Structure 1
């Protein structure tokens, strides 16, 4: 992922309603949800919902498909993973596997804390 794509994705998610839509679509899985149901569940007017869905589509964070007369929205899992990978790329001194939630040995995460302390010390000099 390029930095411009990451900024576009994060900008799209940096709005309360769009973040709620994104999280709802995370929970909906591969089936997705029709735009009307998303608007209803989140109590957002349909016209406003259309705007938010368009922003998420433009940022490539969601996908859209037609089912009869309905537009069904799903999470773009590949793009979400690409964004998370991009954000975690330099985690823990270049060892992002240490920052995984299921990583068992927390003592191995000391390089993260040590690295941030070193950066702060350099800045204060």
Structure 2
């Protein structure tokens, strides 16, 4: 993973509202959660939620799918794991 990609993901997760959104979606599991349910649970105005979700999608941390009229957000566990792996890649490399 490139430094810039990891930095973008960490930057987006560095915002308290986006972190709350992401943590809630991780808790929901791979199927994700309907945007309306997410909005109700976290008590975030629709336009604010849309802005934060778009930021997380642009960092490849979330994807979205539509089922009929319902829009779902799903965490991208592979990308999250890649960011974690990036942080741990050189763990203890300087120790003899």
- Note the aligned Cα RMSD (angstroms): 1.4
Deviation of residue 31 (structure 1)? 1.7
1:61 aligns with 2:61: yes
Deviation of residue 14 (structure 1)? 0.7
Structure 2 unmatched ranges of 5 or more:
none
Residue equivalent to 2:18: 18
Work out the CA distance in 1 between the residues paired with 2:49 and 2:59. 15
* Partner secondary structure for residue 92 of structure 2: helix
* Partner secondary structure for residue 71 of structure 1: strand
Q: Report 1 or 2 for greater relative contact order, CA contacts < 8 Å, sequence distance ≥ 6.
A: 2
Structure 1 unmatched ranges of 5 or more:
95-110, 116-125
Residue equivalent to 1:87: 87
TM-score, normalised with respect to structure 1: 0.73
Q: Which runs of 4+ in 1 moved over 2 A?
A: none
Deviation of residue 93 (structure 1)? 2.3
Deviations 1:35-81 (A, max 9, x none): 11111111111110000000000000011111111110111011000
**Structure with more of its chain in helix, by fraction:** 1
Deviation of residue 28 (structure 1)? 0.4
